[in-house]
Structure 1
């Protein structure tokens, strides 16, 4: 019998990486999206059929937060996460043989701005504001479903790094054009995870049938923004870079159509549960991760 997994919102950076990895491993991969030729979000029957007998469902759906927080965009960010999660849970309830595991994206931004201590699953404090409210609602909808035949795991993901997407391009461009200094005060913590480890964590949870609940998906060695930019300059062979003051970032964010929260919020998140359960990160230090990414980018040029 052919193995099958389902990727909801699988057309983005992480979804495409997972599709390649599981296709290469002999899986049939169904993608639920709004793109033609794939399972449509508007076709509940097709979603149920895709989920029938699947080993795993991974939900990555959601409008990018790399935008201005207008009322329209905020509504789309919120609804694109909660409504898709609701639709998937409803479809699973209609399956005769539901997926064995449902992994749902969440966000490490759910924790408060932290410069005093790291946030773990057991000791972390949730923050306030729009991004936090989205994370809370996302998880509330997900865990509202009681699915006796399907394990559920919510991944509070830090910033995902990889050559083919994520946040790497703007940081690379800043260093390339001489703006590779600290952003703001540079003391804000930068929690990150390499795309390859995200894939390995998902497989780890698939294999470990005793695990469920909330997991921080973040490398065990976060850095300050100042350290991040120093690592970036080193990886790209640049000795110096000009810093960017907060007002400069706010002006640039307006021009680029994004928000400074993505750079200035201090995300200090540790993967307590994963490490306790025996998961070992392949990219546990930023210098190794950035070196791999920069080498891959050079090969693609």
Structure 2
């Protein structure tokens, strides 16, 4: 029996590695599209123009696009342009490849981000796919342009889902190893006011949610990929602090974070924006989380860190 084929565009990062391993174990033939020096077994593409890689989509069961320049950088004019283009160009050219298929992928999951919703403070309700408030700053506009390009694709025979993904927590990549390292040195303290909401998702639940979306024909459109319980930044950092129990604690006021972000060539928005998001559509469709609370997720992941 022929194995189902999964195309994973931009699949050589943290999320892509986990998805490739997860779906390979499920019996899929996973084809990774990678820029530059392709990883072992990957197919080379540039994320902008059609090429020989496009034939891989013919007859595929599913297409997942994770391509996009990291936002962990200074928002210079050049970086802003690269952030937008890396997302819209890759989505556009995948749409062209899907449109050219005689037997296109049955489903296409395209990355987006929970950052699409506006800064949500205090007791304001969490943003859902139906009632969420879309923001208007740079990062939020990037997400809107990304999704707009996705819906413009001529793919009438392919079910499409935009993955509005929150911060994914894992022991071997993403944000958690960096946050844990800071907490070891006394920076498990509130960042800025500490009141900004953190929406998150365990890497295992991320992979399971992607599988669930592929296997649920009635789900299309935007879907929030996040856990049940967002929590304030100060509570998230308190969980890290409780685990590492450093000998001292250093305050992190906003002015100090701005200096640190400048030195590290990044932006404070990554930690100061309040992301309060709810996975309404996943829950309504029957998805169940293994790690519904951040305390459970960190209890599983932190012992795995070096």
Q: Shorter chain as normaliser: what TM range? A: over 0.9
Q: CA deviation at 1:240?
A: 6.3
2:45 to 16, 28, 41: 41
Alpha-carbon contact 1:39-1:46 (below 8 Å) kept: no
Cα distance in 2, alignment partners of residues 235 and 244 from structure 1: 19
1:235-290 per-position Cα deviation (integer Å, ceiling 9, x unaligned): 33448633200001000001111100001000000001111111111111001111
Which secondary structure does the structure 2 equivalent of 1:117 belong to? coil
Aligned partner (choices 180, 186, 191) of residue 194 of structure 2: 186
Instruction: Provide the secondary structure at the position in 2 that maps to 1:121.
Output: coil
The equivalent residue for 1:162 is 170
Residues 188-215 of structure 1 show CA distances to partners (whole Å, capped at 9, x for unaligned) of 0011111111111110011111111100
The one of 156, 159, 167 aligned to 1:148: 156
| Kept after mapping to 2: 8 A contact 1:47/1:91 | no
Cα distance in 2 for residues equivalent to 1:239 and 1:191: 28
> What do you get for the CA RMSD once the two structures are aligned?
1.4
Q: In 2, are the aligned partners of 1:103 and 1:154 still within 8 Å (CA)?
A: yes
Following superposition of structure 1 onto structure 2, how do residues 229-244 of structure 1 map, counting pairs within 5 Å?
229-238=237-246, 241-244=249-252
1:253 aligns with 2:254: no
Structure 1: where are the runs of 5+ without partners?
none
What does 1:170-181 correspond to in 2, within 5 Å? 170-181=178-189
> What CA distance in whole angstroms lies between the structure 2 residues aligned with 1:241 and 1:169?
19
TM-aligned CA deviation for residue 92 of structure 1: 0.3
Find the aligned partners of 1:152 and 1:9 in 2 and give their Cα distance.
18
SS at match of 2:156: coil
Secondary structure of 2:112's counterpart equals: strand
Verify: 1:273 aligned to 2:281, yes or no: yes
Which residue of 102, 105, 109 corresponds with 1:96?
102
CA distance in 2, matches of 1:239, 1:218: 33
Pairwise CA distance, 1:160:
0.9
CA distance in 2, matches of 1:239, 1:197: 33
Worse overlay, 225-234 or 19-28: 19-28
> TM-score of the superposition, structure 1-length normalised?
0.96
> C-alpha distance in 1, partners of 2:51/2:57?
10
- For 2:139, which of 86, 110, 131 is the aligned residue? 131
* 1:49 match: secondary structure: helix
Separation in structure 2 between the aligned mates of residue 93 and residue 205 of structure 1, nearest angstrom:
22
Would the alpha carbon gap of residues 30 and 169 (structure 1) be closer, same or farther in structure 2, given more than 3 Å must change? same
Query: Equivalent residue for 1:211?
Result: 219
Tell me how far apart the structure 2 counterparts of residues 118 and 23 of structure 1 sit (CA, whole Å).
35
Aligned length: 298
Deviations 1:32-87 (A, max 9, x none): 12133432224734232111111111100000000111111111100000000000
Tell me, which stretches of 5 or more residues in structure 2 are unaligned? Answer: none
Number of the residue aligned with 1:121: 129
Q: Give the aligned partner of residue 53 of structure 1.
A: 59
8 Å CA contact 1:181–1:240 kept in 2: the answer is no
Partner in structure 1 of residue 8 of structure 2: 7
